[in-house]
Chain A
């Protein structure tokens, strides 16, 4: 996403100008949530599975150093080159240096949200390296020069007709084509050529296993495999929280991930990489990029349990009606709103407020992150650190002064229901915002307290 600050509310207002499209977006994602429900209700022990996933991840977060060094040792023994990147910049530079050493200027990439977080594509473009995202959704948004709007379904904000228009422009398909089979075939042919001609392939990592030094990549299209198996060099990029202790723990996480993400029992491809094949080079870039800071925040550290399933996106009534781009960060949705302030509080101060705190996100989370409680806690941190508008601050302070004092509260209530103007749901002191699209409550003759005094005292 570009660097211009667009606040969530403003972007959501824009998105809501086309109500039919909002309905479609909401229903599409609700369909995914419903698929998830069907899939998890098939497993009687689902809640125990979530608890197991949560506990394994908690254990990992408390023993990260040991598991990461164990992983590094095993991976190195397997013939994989392990790199450590303190931040996005270092991650990008490491990847660029690998590409440069191979003497090429093109790379194929399979979906990796980490590279979005680090803005790798933009960085490499500046260096003259062409990157082609090979997952269909990623490829579509890349052609449109948009960021993904969803971490699992990157082009979910687009309709078939939008894809038809994009492919017409970039791949020369027939104008106005909307047939999914036809459009997918065009993408397939285009990507086939890419796979055959790229010497370097980059993939993400879903799970890195400390005891084996191997890693697992979960996809539905198999493009990660196509890229990695045909290239001379395979680079895998991972945030350091992707580590799990043992291979047997995959039995927990692979089940949790796919059911939560798309309602599938397991992803179509769960590809296990352990060592480079003969003649191939394999690199792993392990990235911090703010994760250590988050690990040090007692209230927010367990956000690092996230396995990027996006169940919280699909269930979020706000996300479904504001679209992924309204979150102006690589990882949108509820989980993005608790991760992003860690990276940049000033820039992402609006995100923890883009929620009604309904709590559905925490309930679907396969590793039991208390997402909505963390949204509440981030609000406190952001206000204390001064990331709040002075208008809001004055409004809340005046409301607090009314509600802190029984006398002031009653006087305010009596003064022609002055409270109408400072009522909790109108704290920006602008009645019109409620009234634009909703009627005000009818003002009764007397308050409950007045009635009580009249009738019962």
Chain B
């Protein structure tokens, strides 16, 4: 199975370890992984700011990089959702194929690879941050607002990790306040949301906060580090790829 790896711009630049963990994990699970070298960004930063119309080149570049693969996998629910909803390159057939076959990592592991067990070990108390775009957009977990049975693909995967203990949050799917450019244009509310989200994890004794979106994790990490907190932040790929010692 040939998988193209989409590593969003800020992961490429600031969180290479997340890209590495994703790549290694997919290879461990038997995928042939390719990283198209001329990729940049999904275009969401422009689009969410109201500048979707500037994304023609960005979209074309994305299509150029990712056309022709069986699957495209990304360790970011938010960027995946953006591609799924808004990728419209000049080559519409290729765009459509990409929109249909792009997966966020945890949904790819559960829905396509049908992973039932993992060899990872992570003996810590972990708080799972359900990112809004993965959860409410890609529907990789049940949403607290809807009357429907609960499920969470991320929780399912974390449950396969030895030694891990998942904590319960008081508000299980509240937004962290990152919101792309929102985090600077609405600084006060963004920071307050981030502080409150982090406090929920702290109050419930998390040692590590994880999630399937680096953007949310980056936001919470920025707040935790400013507070001098000992809580660490790790992308779910890093936990699922953690080596049994």
Contact = CB atoms under 8 A, between A and B. Distances in A.
B53 A384 contact: yes
A448 B16 contact: yes
Interface string A426-457: 11101001101111111110111111110010
B210 interface: no
A424 B177 CA distance: 15
Contacts of B132: 356-360
A399 B184 CA distance: 15
A322 B148 CA distance: 30
Q: Count chain A CB atoms within 10 A of each CB in B13, B191, B193, B223 and give the residue with the most.
A: B13
Nearest to A372: B136
A37 B171 CA distance: 12
A443 B61 CA distance: 26
Given A425-B180, A434-B222, A444 B14 contact: yes
B159 interface: no
Interface in B161-220: 171, 173-175, 177-194, 196, 215, 218-219
A388 interface: yes
Contacts of B196: 26, 321
Contact of B145 (A26, A315, A399): A315
B46 interface: yes
B35 A449 contact: yes
Given A358-B136, A359-B137, A441-B218, A400 B177 contact: no
A153 interface: no
A406 B37 CA distance: 9
Interface stretch (A40-48, A76-84, A169-177): A40-48
Contacts of A456: 35
Interface in B32-87: 35, 37-41, 43-55, 57-58, 61
B84 to A, nearest CB: 13
A399 B46 contact: yes
B193 A317 contact: yes
B115 interface: no
Interface stretch (A11-19, A122-130, A225-233): A11-19
Interface stretch (B3-11, B91-99, B106-114, B117-125): B3-11
Interface of B, secondary structure class, is: helix
Interface residues of B, number: 77
B42 to A, nearest CB: 9
Interface string B145-157: 1111000000000
A428 B186 CA distance: 12
A441 B221 contact: yes
Interface size class of A (residues with CB under 8 A): 35 or more
Contacts of A13: 187-188
Contacts of B37: 406, 449, 452-453
A273 interface: no
A contacts with B: majority SS: helix
A441 B14 contact: yes
B226 A403 contact: no
Contacts of A439: 221-223, 225-226
Given A396-B51, A437-B223, A444-B14, A403 B40 contact: yes
B12 A388 contact: no
Contact of A19 (B14, B183, B192): B192
B144 interface: yes
B179 A356 contact: yes
Contacts of A355: 179, 182
Contact of A363 (B17, B143, B177): B143
Contacts of B179: 355-358
A160 interface: no
A405 interface: yes
B75 to A, nearest CB: 10
Given A360-B145, A448-B20, A9 B187 contact: yes
Contacts of B18: 448
B96 to A, nearest CB: 20
Contacts of A438: 191, 194, 219, 222-223, 225-226
A404 interface: yes
Contacts of A402: 40
Contacts of B145: 37, 315, 360, 363-364
Nearest to A429: B184
Nearest to A10: B188
A404 B35 CA distance: 18
A41 B148 CA distance: 9
Contacts of A384: 50, 53
A303 B121 CA distance: 48
Contacts of A425: 10, 45, 178, 180-181, 183-184, 215, 218
B55 A400 contact: yes
A441 B187 contact: no
A397 to B, nearest CB: 7
A36 to B, nearest CB: 9
Contact of B193 (A43, A321, A450): A321
Contact of B12 (A16, A379, A413): A413
Given A317-B193, A396-B54, A424-B9, A403 B43 contact: yes
Interface of A: 8-9, 12-13, 15-16, 19, 22, 26, 30, 37, 40-41, 43-44, 46-47, 315, 317-318, 321-322, 353-360, 362-364, 376, 379-380, 382-384, 388, 392-393, 396-397, 399-400, 402-406, 409, 413, 417, 419, 423-428, 430, 433-434, 436-444, 446-453, 456
27 contacts: A19-B192, A30-B171, A47-B147, A318-B193, A321-B189, A321-B193, A353-B186, A357-B179, A358-B136, A359-B137, A380-B47, A380-B52, A396-B45, A403-B58, A404-B54, A424-B41, A424-B44, A424-B181, A425-B45, A425-B183, A437-B191, A444-B17, A447-B12, A447-B13, A449-B7, A449-B12, A451-B19
The 3 closest A-B pairs by CB, nearest first: A356-B179, A438-B222, A424-B45
Given A364-B145, A438-B191, 4 more contacts: A321-B193, A360-B132, A399-B46, A438-B222
